[in-house]
Chain A
Amino acid sequence: MNDMRIVERDVSTAEIKINARDVNVHYGTSHALKNVDIEILNNNVTAFIGPSGCGKSTFLRCLNRMNDTIPSAKVSGLIALDGEDIYDSKVDPVQLRAKVGMVFQKPNPFPKSIYDNVAYGPRIHGLTRSKAELDQVVETSLKKAALWNEVKDRLHSPGTGLSGGQQQRLCIARAVATSPEVLLMDEPCSALDPIATAQVEELIDELRNQFAVVIVTHSMQQAARVSQKTAFFHLGNLVEYGETGQIFTNPRDPRTESYISGKIG
C-alpha cells in the first residue's frame, strides 16, 4: 500500500447528515449487521470498505430503506436523516428515496432514451413546471455527471446503447436529477474499466460539494483516493470508523490493519 495517494483532508467542520445508532439487520435467522453506530457528515465522501459479505451493501441499503423490498430483511435500531427517524411509521420510503439517491453496482439505465432516463425522477416527483425547465434539469444533471459533452447530440437515443462507463455516469445523472441530499453508491466502479473509473472518481469528488456521498468499494486505493472518512466493516461489525488518512496510515484495530495490509479479505 505504498502507492496510495491520500487526498487533502478537510473533514472537521461539516455537520452530521445521517446518524445511525445500534443498527441491526437480520435476513431471516442470519444476523447480517451487528450494532452499527456511525455518523455520516454532509459534504464529505464516506467510504465503506471490508471483505465480501461483511454487510456493506446491507448497511447502505438501510440508509434509503431499499431493504424494505426484501421480505426477509428486518432492520432495528435508529437511523436519522437530519435528526428525523427514517424508519418512523409516518415516513413514506418513496419520499425518502427522493432525498437519498442511489447508484448501483451494475449500471442499470432504463431501456428508454438518455433524456427520459434523467427526466424520470423530476417527472414523477413533479419537480419541474415546464418542458424548458425539465430540459434545464436534464442538462445540468448530465453536466454534473460529466456526460453532457458526450451525449448532448443524441439525447433521444437509448441509454442502453452507451458504453458501460457512460451508462454508470448516466445512472449518476439520473440520481442527481432529483436533487437528493445524500448520494449512496454501491461499488459504482466495479463494472468499469480504469479510465471510466477515473472519470467517475473525479465526479464523486465534485459531487460532495452538494451532497453527502457514501460509497461502498472493494478497492482500498479507491477509498483512499476519493473519501474523507472511511468505515471498515468485518463480519457484520463496524470495526473502525475515522478519517481516511488515519485508517490507512494508522489503524487502531488489528483487524483493520490486517485487512489494509492484505491479510484478510
Chain B
Amino acid sequence: MTDISASPAGKSKGSSLLELDSRTRRRNAAERRFQIYGIVAIAIALAALLMLLVSIFSGGSSAFRQTFATFDMTLPAEQLDPEGNRDPAEMARVTTIGYQNVLRAGLVAAVRDAGIVPDGVADADITGILSPEAAADLRNRVLANPDLIGTTVDIDALVHGRIDGYFKGRVTMESAVRDANITPERLQIAEAMVENGLMSTRFNWGFVTKPDASDQRPEAAGLGVALLGSLYMMLVVLVLAVPIGVAASIYLEEFAPKNRFTDVIEVNISNLAAVPSIVFGILGLAIFINFAHLPQSAPIVGGLVLTLMTVPTIIISTRASLRAVPPSIRDAALGVGASRMQSVFHHVLPLAMPGILTGTIIGLAQALGETAPLLLIGMVAFVRDYPDAPPEGLFDPASALPVQVYNWTQRADPAFVERASGAIIVLLAFLLVMNAIAIILRRRFERRW
C-alpha cells in the first residue's frame, strides 16, 4: 500500500507547493482508503458486539425477575407438627405433600376471600397456579424456624413457570389452550390476583443463589451451585496455574541454558497452548478420574484440567513480558553485585508484573468459559446440593457456569432458554469482575522506566 519505489517523475523543478503533485495525491488517497478500511472493520466489530449484547440482555434479563403469589395464612399446628413438640426432627416427618396441602388450602382461602373468582371455579384451578417448588420452600422455611407454626405468616410462593411466562410474554391465552400444563382459566385467575395485589413479578435473587431444578420446574432453577463450582475451579486454577506458569517462565527465560533440549520444551509449550480443550478433558478423565480416582463432577478435577489448559497461556505471556523488560535493568542489578535471582525478583519481575497479570487474566477468563473438557469429567451432572466450603468442598459434586448454560439450552421448556441467557449474563458479569480486579492490580504494579 505504501509504494516506496521512487519514480523520478514525481518532482519537477519549480513546481508550486500550493499544488499537490499527482504522487502526493495518490499517497493521500491511499492513506484515506486505509483509514476507511479501519473504520469499517471497527464498525463491523462494534455492530456484532452490540447485537450479541442486545440479544443476550433482551432474552436473559427477564431471568432475574420472577412471579410470586403473596398472601397471608396461618400455619396449622395439627397438620405440620402433630406431636406439638416443635422438634425439627419430628416435624421433618411431615413431607412436602403435607405442606402442599396446607399451602393450597391457604391460597384458595386467600383468593376466595378477595372475591376475585366466580364461585363456579374449581379449587384445582386456583391451586394449579402454584409451582411444585413452593411447598418445598415453605417446608424448609418452617423447619428452619419451628416457631412460625400457629402464627400468621407472609407467604411468598413461586408460581408455575407458565404463569410466570404469561407475565413475561412467553405464554399467551392462545398457546395456553393447546398446552397441557396450563389452562386459560388459570391465567385469568393469575391476572385477577395481580390486580388485587396477590401476585407480582419482581427481582429474584433466587436465580443467582438457588441450585438447579428439574425439567418441570424452570421457575425454581438457579445458578448457585454452578457459580460456586466455577468459583472453586477458578481458585484451583489460580493457586496452581499461576505459580507453576510464572516459575516455569522465569526459569526458562532467565536461568535455563539455551540448547536443543530447552528449544524442544519451548516448541512444545507453544503447541500445548494450541491443543483443543476437549483433549485436555480426555486427559483429565484418564489421569485424574480413572488413574488417580478423584471423584467425578468435582471442582478439583475441573480445576486441574483447566490448570493444564491455562499453564501454557500463562507461560507464553509471562515470557513475553519478561523479555520486554529492558536488559539494561538486568545489567544494572548484576553490575552492583546482585545475584541472578536477586536481579530477577527485585527488578525484572516487578517490571514484568503488569504483563504477567494480563496474561493470567486472559488465561483465567478462557478457563472460566470452557465447557468441553468439563463435560468429559462429569461436571454436566444434575447437582442440587451446594458443595461445602473449600478445601473439602472442592471434592463435592458441583456444576459450572458454562456447563449450566449448555445444560439449560438442552431442556424442552422454553423457560430454560430465558434462564440460559440469564446465566450468560452472570458469566459475563463474573468475567467483568475478574477483569476489574486485574486492572486494579495492574495499576498498583505499573511503573515507568
Q: Do A and B come from one complex?
A: yes
Listed in ascending order, the chain A residues whose CB lies under 8 Å from chain B are 64, 66, 69, 71, 94-98, 101-104, 106, 108-111, 120-121, 124-125, 158, 160, 171, 174-175, 177-178
B351 at the interface (CB under 8 A from A): yes
The verdict on B339 contacting chain A, using a C-beta distance below 8 Å, is: yes
Residue with the highest number of chain A CB atoms closer than 10 Å, among B329, B331, B346: B331
Q: Are A121 and B328 in contact (CB under 8 A)?
A: no
Interface pair B331/A111, CB less than 8 Å apart: no
Residues of A within 8 A of B338 (CB): 94, 120, 124
Are A109 and B337 within 8 A (Cβ)? no
| Chain B residues with CB below 8 A from A158, complex form | 448
CB closest residue in chain A, given B351? A111
Closest 4 CB pairs of A and B: A98-B337, A108-B328, A102-B335, A111-B449
- Are A124's CB and B334's CB within 8 A? no
Contact with A along B330-365 (1 / 0, CB 8 A): 111111111100100011000100000000000000
Near A by CB (< 8 A), chain B positions 379-403 give none
B447 in the interface, Cβ–Cβ < 8 Å?
yes
Q: Is the CB of B448 within 8 A of A111?
A: yes
Whether the pair B331, A110 counts as a contact (CB closer than 8 A) is no
| CB-CB nearest in chain A for B335 | A102
Residues of the B chain whose Cβ atoms lie less than 8 Å from the Cβ of A98: 336-337
Interface size in chain B (residues, C-beta < 8 A): 22
Known contacts being A71-B257, A124-B342, A160-B449, is A108 close to B337, with CB within 8 Å?
no
The smallest C-beta distance from B6 to any residue of chain A, in angstroms, reads 31
> With A111-B447, A160-B449 as given contacts, are A104 and B337 in contact (CB-CB < 8 Å)?
no
Bound-state Cα–Cα, A64 to B346, Å: 21
Residues of B within 8 A of A109 (CB): 332
A71 and B258: CB pair below 8 A? yes
Give the chain B neighbours of A175 by CB distance below 8 A: 335-336
Q: Can you name 22 A-B residue pairings with CB atoms under 8 Å?
A: A66-B334, A71-B257, A94-B337, A95-B337, A97-B335, A97-B336, A101-B336, A104-B335, A108-B328, A108-B331, A108-B332, A111-B329, A111-B449, A120-B336, A120-B346, A124-B342, A124-B346, A125-B337, A158-B448, A175-B335, A175-B336, A178-B336
A110-B329 contact in complex given A71-B257, A124-B342, C-beta closer than 8 Å: yes
Alpha-carbon gap, A174 to B329, bound state (A): 13
Cα-based distance from A160 to B347 in the complex (angstroms) = 14
Evaluate whether A110 and B332 lie within 8 angstroms (CB atoms) in the complex, with A71-B257, A71-B258, A160-B448 already known.
yes
Q: Which residue of A lies closest to B337 (CB)?
A: A98
Main secondary structure of the interface of B (DSSP, over half): helix
B310 to chain A, nearest CB (A): 29
Residues of B within 8 A of A (CB): 257-258, 326, 328-339, 342, 346-347, 351, 447-449
Alpha-carbon gap, A248 to B338, bound state (A) = 38
Residues of A close to B258: CB separation below 8 A: 71
B328 touches A104 (CB 8 A): yes
Closest to A177 in B: B336
A46 to chain B, nearest CB (A): 18
Q: How far is the CA of A108 from the CA of B336 in the complex (A)?
A: 12
Q: How far, in whole Å, are A178 and B336 apart by their CA atoms in the complex?
A: 7
| Chain B CB within 10 Å, residue with most, of A71, A98, A111 | A111
Give me 18 other A-B pairs in contact (C-beta within 8 A), A106-B328, A110-B332 excluded. Answer: A69-B330, A94-B338, A97-B337, A101-B335, A101-B336, A102-B331, A104-B335, A108-B331, A110-B329, A111-B329, A111-B351, A120-B338, A124-B336, A124-B338, A124-B346, A125-B337, A175-B336, A178-B336
Nearest chain B CB to A144 CB, angstrom units: 15
> How far does the Cβ of B17 sit from chain A's closest Cβ, in whole Å?
36
Q: Which residues of B contact A71 (CB under 8 A)?
A: 257-258
A108 with B334: CB separation less than 8 A: no
Select from chain A the residue with minimum beta-carbon distance to B350: A111
Which listed residue (B331, B337, B449) contacts A121, Cβ 8 A? Answer: B337
Which chain A residues border B326 with CB–CB below 8 Å?
108
Q: Which of A69, A111, A121, A160 contacts B336 (CB 8 A)?
A: A121
Closest-CB distance, A190 to chain B (whole angstroms): 14
Q: Which residue of B lies closest to A92 (CB)?
A: B339
Query: A108-B329, A111-B449, A160-B448 in contact; A66/B339 too (CB < 8 A)?
Result: no
Q: In the bound complex, do residue A104 and residue B332 qualify as a contact, i.e. CB atoms below 8 Å apart?
A: yes
- How far apart are A195's CB and chain B's nearest CB, in angstroms? 24
- Which B residues lie within 8 Å of A103 (CB)? 335
CA distance A177 to B326 in the complex (A): 23
How far does the Cβ of B114 sit from chain A's closest Cβ, in whole Å? 73
Complexed CA–CA distance, A101 and B351 (Å): 24
A66 is contacted by which of B331, B346, B448 (Cβ under 8 Å)? B331
